[in-house]
Amino acid sequence: MEKRQNISESDLVNRLRDLPLKEVPDDLTDRVMNCIIIKQPGLLKRLWNSFNKTIIVPVRPSYAFCLLFLLLGSFLIGRGSIQLPAEHSDTLPPASMFQAETAQAAYLIGRGLLAAERSDKGLAMLQRAAAFEPGNPEYAYWEGIGYWMNGNRQQERSSYIRGLTAEPESIPLLVNLGHNYLSENKFQQALETYQSVLELSPAEPVAWYNSALIYRQLNQVERETSAWKAYLESNRTGKKAFRAVERLNEYGDFSYRPYRVGARKLILSPVKFFNESSSAHARKMELVPLTKVILANSELKLNVVVFLENEKALARKRALEIKRMIIEIGGPEIGDRIALSWFDSPEIVRTMGSTEIDLDESLLLFSSFIKNRNEEVAI
């Protein structure tokens, strides 16, 4: 066996450098390209690839929604037609650009046109659907929407009232009818309509919120504050909720208060922790959003301060209860990040009108960040 000679890397580089230079053959490029030419697929394969290719078509959402309704309407047109009753034949609007021969086809096309911001033609089709079936509450509702989009408040209201004749307990029709009255400053009719909504759905947020706005216009403060609190009972997020709290606090009512914890702003009801009639479950549920914020940031420390006038021992008890419930929700490891304070003197707050108020029962919450224990502090 031939013995392999050990050559260092530097020797190899020097030997390669000393090799004589040679001219590049003229046909070298052609020879290399002939070796790597990719074989073209056959005709059938190319046709299959063409049909199987994914096609991406950019479509605006509103027009896609319209297209969907138009396709559904066209499908229904092909399934048959319904003869229009004689007593409604003179109420039909022009068929516009579509010849819808059934109520449902006209309805679907009309909604599609509204979604595509073609409110005039959409209204014409919805009128056609309502003329086919004047007792259909859904057609009446969307016909009213069409009138609203075209700025015709009187006809909008007539559509809702016609729909309610067929279905008196329709919440969407009642809500929109209340909006219609409110838009024309018909406050009493709007209040009565919203009250009908609340009788059917006691937690309906828009009915409570708009009722509070009306009471504010009528300078009925007690009813206004009651409506704000009813709204906040189930709605604690968004601009409307914070506006409702602001209105309450303006009147010196701090049954709901905003608290900033870390980067979040929360709405809580302190009275639930002082009211003996509040159940343990209700108190704990009040603390769930707060606990989630603390758990989301391990560097966050919560400070809980309870004020009860001339009741320092009870204030301490309430503070400890709040900490215990937070630990039950978030786990024992969260307990080290909750600091407590309690006082027997009232909290003094200032309203928007610069009036000072002593709160004999109140809860304060504020947060701070835990310093890194390993961080060196400069002297």
Residue 265 CB contacts under 8 Å (≥ 6 apart), including other chains: 242, 258, 259
Q: Say whether 256 sits in a helix, a strand or coil.
A: coil
Query: Which tens digit of pLDDT belongs to each residue from 47-103?
Result: 445 545 544 434 454 444 554 555 455 444 444 333 434 344 344 444 444 455 699
Q: List C-alpha distances in Å: 94 to 119, 130, 372.
A: 15, 14, 74
pLDDT-derived band at 144, boundaries 50, 70, 90: very high
- Give dist(CA 270, CA 287) in Å, integer: 10
Tally of CA atoms within 13 A in the half-sphere of 74 that contains its CB = 9
pLDDT score, position 356 = 84
For 256-372, which CATH superfamily applies?
OmpA-like domain (3.30.1330.60)
CATH 3.30.1330.60 in the chain, residue ranges = 256-372
Asked if pLDDT for residue 142 goes beyond 90, the answer is yes
pLDDT score, position 370 = 79
The tokens for 238 are 């968004």
* Least confidently predicted of 21-30, 74-83, 116-125, 312-321: 74-83
State pTM to two decimals. 0.71
* Least confidently predicted of 74-78, 180-184, 194-198: 74-78
pLDDT score, position 292 = 95
Q: What's at 350, amino acid-wise?
A: R
Q: What's at 46, amino acid-wise?
A: R
Would residue 306 be called left, alpha or beta, if left means φ above 0 and alpha means ψ between -120 and 50 degrees?
beta
pLDDT-derived band at 134, boundaries 50, 70, 90: very high
* Contact between 282 and 270 (Cβ < 8 Å): no
